Amino acid sequence: MKLYAYGIDVGGTTVKCGLFGTDGTFYEGWEIPTVKDNGGAQIIPDIAAAIRSNMKERAIEIENVEGVGIGVPGPVREDGVVNGCVNLGWGVYDVRTELSGLLDGIRVEVANDANVAALGEMWRGGGQGYKNVVMVTLGTGVGGGIIINGKILHGAHGAGGEIGHITVNRNESKPCGCGKKGCLEQYASATGIARRAAEAMAAPGAPVSSLYNYDVVDARAVFDAAKTGDELALSVVQFACRTLGRACASITSVVDPDVIVIGGGVSRAGQILVDAIVKYYVQNAFTATRETPFKLAVLGNNAGMYGAVKMILD
């Protein structure tokens, strides 16, 4: 194996780039802006240029680069073709071929960003020591990634691990971003938690709550208030975690992972979140999977970069 590899995580605002040794050493990370003009046509050339420039700086020859792993915020098929990325302006786009072509034909692996983050957490984060991992990413939406035998489960349509769109409430009247109604994402995302809090605060007979003192009642405010014992905030947390715990019970009946890793911005709430999810998980899980451990993600925004390069190191 050659000496170096790059891990790239494409976000809606910035692209995180990392230089790694193929022994797993992390040498350097940096960011470039995500230029979304012209249907995102510049993004991949910009990444190629950033890599070239880093190689020049460090006097790394292309012959010494094993490859580039890249995570993108959209569905990706196993062959490296992106099946549309609304956030970036991409339609169906063969990222693997394009990026490889710009870098003298070196090996490129492409995957969905949530899947890549799951791989990163397996390698160096909350899922370390395991090879079958379900990662649940609680951010603006609810994403997920599934690792089976150390490899990303891409899915036939690049939708492997799209657990945010499991239907959990058949009586929901408001549509999810995906067009369906009652998706997990509508209740367990940061957005869903804030919405639930606003509803609870507006409800007649709502209890006294410190949440009324916040300028913005977001998921973070809800967890902060819950940690002080605020009754209303606690009920919102319990609601989100009940929904999550039940959904995780369905997921483990299907894939029976070694571990479930909880990540994304909402996971900064910490152990209070995990404890509440586990409480409802245990009540709903199939016997054999009842003791599946839950761990907090540890790599934060670097998980994607780590997971991306791991695709090359395998």
In the complex, the residues that contact a copy of itself under the rule CB under 8 A are 75, 83, 132, 144, 146, 148-149, 151, 153-163, 165-167, 178-180, 246, 249-258, 284, 286-289, 292
Nearer residue to a copy of itself within complex by CB, 53 or 253: 253
Q: How far is the CB of 163 from a copy of itself (least distance, A)?
A: 6
CB of 85 to a copy of itself, least distance (A): 13
Complex with a copy of itself: residue 154 or 310, whichever CB lies closer:
154
Query: To the nearest whole angstrom, how small is the minimum distance from the Cβ of residue 19 to a copy of itself?
Result: 30
Is 4 or 281 the residue whose CB approaches a copy of itself more closely? Answer: 281
Which among 144, 218, 141 has a CA at the least distance from the CA of 185? 141
Least gap, CB of 266 to a copy of itself (angstroms): 20
Query: 3-class secondary structure for the chain?
Result: CCCEEEEEEECCCEEEEEEEECCCCEEEEEEEECCCHHHHCCHHHHHHHHHHHHHHHCCCCHHHEEEEEEEECCCECCCCEEEEEHHHCEEEEEHHHHHHHHCCCCEEEEEEHHHHHHHHHHHHCCCCCCCCEEEEEECCCEEEEEEECCEECCCCCCCCCCHHHCECCCCCCCECCCCCECECHHHHCHHHHHHHHHHHHHCCCCCCCHHHHCCCCCHHHHHHHHHCCCHHHHHHHHHHHHHHHHHHHHHHHHHCCCEEEEECHHHHHCHHHHHHHHHHHHHHCCHHHCCCCEEECCCHHHHHHHHHHHHHHC
Q: How far is the CB of 283 from a copy of itself (least distance, A)?
A: 9
**Judged by CB, which is closer to a copy of itself: 45, or 175?**
175
The length of the chain, given as a count of residues:
314
Q: CB nearer to a copy of itself: give 269 or 311.
A: 311
Nearer to a copy of itself, 18 or 161 (CB): 161
Question: Minimum CB separation from a copy of itself for residue 220, in Å?
Answer: 27
In the complex, the smallest distance separating the C-beta of residue 259 from a copy of itself, rounded to whole angstroms, is 8
Between strands 133-138 and 259-263, the pairing is: parallel
Pick 18 or 143: Cβ nearer a copy of itself: 143
